[in-house]
A and B are shown apart, each in its own frame.
Chain A
Amino acid sequence: MNARTRIVASIGTAIVAVITLNTPAQAQAAPTDPQIVGIVIAANQIDIDYAESALAKSETKQIRDFAQQMVADHSALQKSVFDLGAKLKVTPAESDTSNALKAQAKETATKLKAVRGKAFDTAYIDNEIAYHQAVIDSVNKVLIPNAQNAELKAALTGAVPLFQGHLEHAKNVQAALK
């Protein structure tokens, strides 16, 4: 297994474990609505941060265009999440899940910093594929089923096609780079 594959494998496994509550700390408690909003906010910010590191580091047009789209899309989604939280009077709350996501993202960012050029481009886009797949799985399996407020549930459901679009676009970029 090469370095790139190790990065991707560890990212995907860790994120899925964190968000699907398969680690001992989270195994008992399903997230509340404030915690769900906190998790979505954390997940959006993480991808914005990954994209900004790509814009700072990559010179490849497809990577830069994709990263620019991630900043734009996740920022728009972030705004809609904050607006919805304000409308529903749901204050985002931290949770073990959102904190674990942030910790995992910090580790990933460190690994991405260690590579450059084509290796960075490949690691970044591979991570985007693993990350978006993990987010889609967690939204479908954990966040939507546990959301109590109907409007929050509908908003989460509505966000899934956007994440799926990102996943497909990332796969197209990955194919183009090979």
Chain B
Amino acid sequence: MEILWKVEELKKEYEIRTEFKKEKIIALKNINIEIFKGEVFGVVGESGSGKTTLGKVLIRLIEPDEGKIFYKNIEITKIPERFLRRYRKNFQIIFQDPYKSLNPRIRCGYAVMEGIDGNKKEKTEKAIEILNLVGIKKERFYDYPHQFSGGERQRIAIARALSTNPEFIVCDEPTSNLDVSVQGQILNLFIDLKEKFNLTYLFITHNLKILRFIADRIAVMFKGEIVELGRTEEILKNPSHPYTEKLLKSEI
């Protein structure tokens, strides 16, 4: 299998300054992972364990302190910011809260058109096509985000991510703000799109039920480190780290 991402010894610290003291919080350390093309790589962990930071560092929305990240054997961490744009269209991110990730003053169609190249007519056609793909009808092209429900907004966020023809998408808890019934629809959509475009996902969640359903391999994160890594079924069957056991126990 082709290795899409290779991460070596990644480290990221945040500095928290209060009036009296400086504190360092380790968000990521000793991260070594490989992500293969076409797989769903799940990341699970409690809040504050560095799941989101990992996703963001990978696509360089946050600069790492130490470590190397390779994207198809190109060292992403060494590329200067201005050349990085060339690669940026290959990897996208979908955030947790569709209420915050869409600009309330931009019509949904235009929001999708932003990422597409070409003249206006081509852009519009492509945007309609992508919106149709995620299940938003053509008639709603000129609607504003507030006119959509939560699930529909998440669909628009997915359409925006797809508009640049990416290879890799970071899904940062994309369903945790949604109803259970809508969650099912969005998960189905993720699988459909993956099969259609041969996408690779980094799927961040704290819900093991979803991981069991969607992820091929999972990494369990605890306090900034990956404490377990392997095939989903194996890890969930024989957890070795106490935190994984705790996670499994708290499943309802």
Same complex origin of A and B: no
Question: Which A residues contact B (CB, under 8 angstroms)?
Answer: none
Question: Which B residues contact A (CB, under 8 angstroms)?
Answer: none
